[in-house]
Amino acid sequence: MKDWEAGIVRQIITEEQLKARVKELGEQITNDFKDDDAEFIVVGILKGSILFMADLIREIKLPLKIDFMEVSSYGDGFETTRDVKIIKDLDYSVRGKNVLIVEDIIDSGLTLKKILQLIGKRGPKNVILCTLLDKVTKREADISIQYTGFEIPNEFVLGYGLDFIQEYRNIPYIGVMDLEKYEKEKK
């Protein structure tokens, strides 16, 4: 049987911690926008945010619509190329709406800064950013994050939507990957 957790050396955020924090974020977002009449649209940044977004929107007790963007700034490597390429743009107009952008992890912030600028030019009422994980120590761009799940150290993490070569997204917790251990276990 294949080891679906090959290379993971430890959990840093458990499944239970994820569920509790997502519930708290949903309640906070609901409270912050319950008296705002503008349409509310949740935009997931594909592919990593999908599990977090699915759980989060179930906890937001507001009428809402969802949409997705897919962007790339990594090419085939682990470091950003600093060139943001839009692979899939929004299907709906955001003009006059409250737009909640949902991201899985923010490190340098360079990609998110470009996304925020792009959406901001489209006339939304508000652009709000919610991230599951924040690597504050890697930040290069000045961006404002309104909702943060967890601040994490500068380690290679995966699970709960975050991947390594498109694998590990279905791991129900956030784990730290040891690439050397992964290579040994995959042989």
Distance, CA of 10 to CA of 176 (rounded, Å)? 6
pLDDT score at 179: 76
Which residue out of 107, 134, 163, 178 is catalytically annotated? 107
Pairing of strands 8-13, 174-177: antiparallel
In the residue annotation, 36 being an active-site residue is answered as no
In the chain, the DSSP E strands lie at: 8-13, 40-46, 65-72, 85-88, 98-106, 126-134, 147-151, 157-158, 174-177
Q: How sure is the predictor about 83, in pLDDT bands with cuts at 50, 70 and 90?
A: confident
Where along the chain do its domains lie? 16-154
Q: Residue 173: pLDDT above 90? A: yes
Strand partners for 85: 72
CATH class of the domain at 16-154: alpha beta
* Residue 79 pLDDT greater than 70, yes or no: no
Q: Taking 60 as the threshold, does the pLDDT of residue 161 lie above it?
A: yes
Count of CA atoms in the C-beta half-sphere (13 A) of 110: 13
- Asked whether residue 46 carries a pLDDT value surpassing 60, the answer given is yes
Q: Taking the model in full, what pTM does it have?
A: 0.91
pLDDT in tens, 16-25: 999 999 999 9
d(CA 25, CA 163): 23
At 4, is the pLDDT very low, low, confident or very high (cuts 50, 70, 90)?
confident
Question: In this model, does residue 81 exceed pLDDT 70?
Answer: no
